[in-house]
Structure 1
Amino acid sequence: MRNEFKQMRTKFGSTFYNIRQIFSKKLAKSSKVVNKMKALLSDCFPDLKSELSVAKTVDGVLDVVKRKCSIVDVHPLEVLAVQFKVKEAEDIIKEHKETAKEFCKSVTVSLSKDETLQSILTRYLLCETITFVLNWDPDKTTLQDVNDVLLELELIQKYEIKVVRTHSGRSVVVNCYCPAVYTGSLIIAVLDKIKYYKRED
């Protein structure tokens, strides 16, 4: 299974490399464009504001975006491509997302033990670590199953949850991080969802 992760990481690196080349051709290398990129990302991902403040070039901004992405989630990069109408980049991102989805469908939690989904190992100073414990069989649960349940709970996009690693044992343990600014509202949202599903039972 390590080979599959290696291939996915290579795919991620290739995606970013190709988009760097496209951005360097399509976007003017001016401080005005860089500032627009930084403003957009700061509004969409407030936890990146401090890192973006020191980025001076398009490449510098993309370096920050890369740290925000995971090998199976390039949403921050997609935000830039869509907003700045870089069609070639959108096509590459679409292909990456399709590959990532197939990867997630094929990899079980038990086989992804000790692997990280982060693109770059880093410390998130303005983020909180969150752990979800799912009473599922790790051998029968794929990474896509984990993504699906978080999407169903409406947690990933709204609170910018990023799945970092999954562990297996008698259940599925999902380690994530979330911008600290959202932690309080996230806890309330999860508790509300738990109450809702208990009523449904």
Structure 2
Amino acid sequence: RYHVQQCRRGQGQSNEDINGDCGQLTIRAMILKTKGLLKIEIMNCRSLKPVRSNGICNPCVKINFLPADQFLKTSKPKTQVQKNNLFPLFDETLEIVLTNDQMSMKDALIQFEVIDHYFLCINKFVAECFFLLNKVKLVDDPEEDMMNMPQIQLKLGKPSSEHDPKIWNVIEQRSLSWTDKKANEFIKRQKARMNRTNCQEA
């Protein structure tokens, strides 16, 4: 529910507000209904904020799906790395096979993670955004051209406990129980991504 609320908030932004502190991601997407194939074109990112003190960013975009336990066997592809670029042009189309149950899930989310690729080091999380899977256009023609799909602009951001404090507090309380491993892992992962109050360098 936390991620769904984040997704709806981001998609509710006006055109004037779409460029957030962490930048913007532009995509196209469609689902070839007869093949059960999700096609996502990662077009570009704009105004990325570096997470390294030297200002360098080698971004790539990775796709995940939520809830994760419903997509365990689903591929999570990523783009090629664009070296030293805060306005990367990817122009890559990624393909993911989905089941009928996955395509019909009400609140399933596509998560886009922008990652800063470090050579021989741990990669750094830059920002993320979400899109509801059931908002992706279903097409019957298996030869449909992606160019016919509208461009979708998504506001990039970082997790924050202030976005949905009630939901966050519930999950955080659950994480204190050793028996709720999912809540514990969620809080740890989100807090690790909150290592800066915003996407600007400190």
Provide the TM-score with structure 2 as the length reference: 0.23
User: Which fold has the larger relative contact order, with Cα–Cα distance below 8 Å and residues 6 or more apart in sequence?
Assistant: 2
Structure in which a larger fraction of residues adopt helix = 1
TM-score (normalised: structure 1): 0.23
Higher-strand-fraction structure: 2
